[in-house]
Copies of this chain bind each other. A is one copy, B any other.
Amino acid sequence: MQDVQDIVFKVYENVHLEEGIVVLKNFLVNAYMYRGTSVKEMSRMLNLPVPVVSAIKNEFKKNGIVDLSNGIGLTKNGEIYVKDVLGYKNADTDVLKDILENTGIDLSRFEKEIEELGAIYQNRPEVDVEVDQSKCTAETGMKRAVLMLKSGCLIGKKIACIGDDDLTSIAIVLLLKHIAVSDNLSGMADITVFDIDKRILSYIKKVSEEYKIDIECIQHDLCNPIDNQYKNKFDCITTDPPYTLNGLNLFLSRGISVLKKESNLSVFLSFAHKTPQIRFLMQQLFVNEGLILSNIYPKFNVYEGAQILGGVSDLMILTTTAQYTKELISGIFSDEIYTGKFKQTIRTYECKQCSEKYLVGMNQKITTIEQLKSQGCLKCPANKFNLIRKG
C-alpha cells in the first residue's frame, strides 16, 4: 500500500491545502462511506469551498484513486487504501453512518457498552487525589469516544492519552467493538496511554487484553519530556489534566510533542469551567502553543464524587496549525502542577461574624490562612473565617 500512501502525499503537494493532509484522507473516507456523493455534498462534509474539493477530486482521479463515473467514488486501489491504511476494513459502515448522521451524541444506542464500561469503571483503582485523579462516569467516557469518532479522530488513528485515570482508552475500545464487523479490533485504532500511575496502566493493560486489542501503556511522569521514539507520531491526543494553568501547559506541551507536525490534528481537552480571568489565561496559552480553539462543549464531562460545580467540566477541541503549533515546555518541568500543592491558588475567606471577604494566596497581601487568622478581621473583632472559594 506504500504506493497509494505516496499518492496521497503527492496530491497534498499539488493542492497544498492549509487544512492539512488529514482533509485528503477524510475526502477518501467520505468517498468510501458515501459512494456516489456530489462535489457540493463533499464540500459540506469537509467544510471546504467547492472549487477546492473539485481540485482535490481531479488530482485523485488523475492518480487513479478516485472513480468519477457516478458521483465521487473510489477505484479498487482507493478502496484498499481506505480499508487497509485508513483502518476501515473492520468497520461496519451502516453502524458508522448511523452514529455519524445523528446530530449530537445519542447515548441510547450505547446502553450495552455503557453498562459494560460501568462494570469496568467500578473496579478501577481508587483515585489518588494527590495527583488530581477523579473518575468520570461511564456515560462521559462513552461520550468522549463518540465525540472523537464523530470528529474523525478515531478509526485508523494513532491516539495518545496524556494521562488516563478516566480510562478513556477503554471507552474507545468499547466503541470500536460496537462498530467492528469481527472480533479482531487490531488495526482499527492504535492507542497509547502515558500515565504516572502504574495501577491504572496495569488495569488498562488487563482490560484491553480481554478485548484482544493491544494498548501500549507507558509509565511516565509528564514532568519529564516524553521519549523521542514517541515524538511526532500521533494523530490525536486526549487529556484531562490537573486543573491548574501549569498542569494545562505541561500536559498540552507533552501532547503537542507526540503529535505529528501536521495541520488540523485534534486535542480533546477536558478542563474545569474557570473564572473569566483564568479562562482568558487559558486561551492566551492556547494561542502561545499555536493551537486553535475549534469547539467548546460546556459541562460535557460528569465526574463521580467531585462536588465543585456539581462535578462537571467542559470539553474543548483544540486544532493544530502547521505554522504555529509548538510546545511551550520542552525540557524537565519542576514547578507544581497539582491543585492541592499549587501555591498560586487564591482562596476567598469570609469572616464568620461580619462576612467581610479576604483573598488569600501567593501575590496577595495575605498569603496564608494562618496569617489571616493571626491578624484577625479588619472590620470586626472576630478571627474565624470560612473558605468560600478556591481558584
Contact = CB atoms under 8 A, between A and B. Distances in A.
B49 A308 contact: yes
B355 A321 contact: no
B19 A275 contact: yes
A329 to B, nearest CB: 19
A129 interface: no
Interface residues of A, number: 58
Interface in A316-330: 319-324
Contacts of A157: none
Given A43-B309, A294-B296, A389-B51, A18 B276 contact: yes
A339 to B, nearest CB: 14
B283 A355 contact: no
A350 B155 CA distance: 33
Interface string A48-61: 11111011001100
Given A16-B357, A43-B309, A388-B51, A280 B290 contact: yes
Interface in A338-391: 348, 350, 355-357, 386-389
Nearest to A52: B389
How many copies the complex holds: the figure is 2
A365 to B, nearest CB: 14
A322 B276 CA distance: 9
Nearest to A359: B16
B296 A279 contact: no
A47 interface: yes
A292 B283 contact: yes
Contacts of A319: 276, 279
Interface string A236-280: 000000000000000000000000000110000000010111011
26 contacts: A14-B357, A15-B357, A18-B277, A19-B275, A19-B276, A20-B276, A40-B310, A43-B309, A47-B298, A51-B387, A51-B389, A52-B389, A54-B388, A55-B350, A55-B355, A59-B355, A62-B355, A280-B287, A280-B290, A280-B292, A280-B323, A280-B324, A283-B287, A283-B293, A287-B287, A295-B296
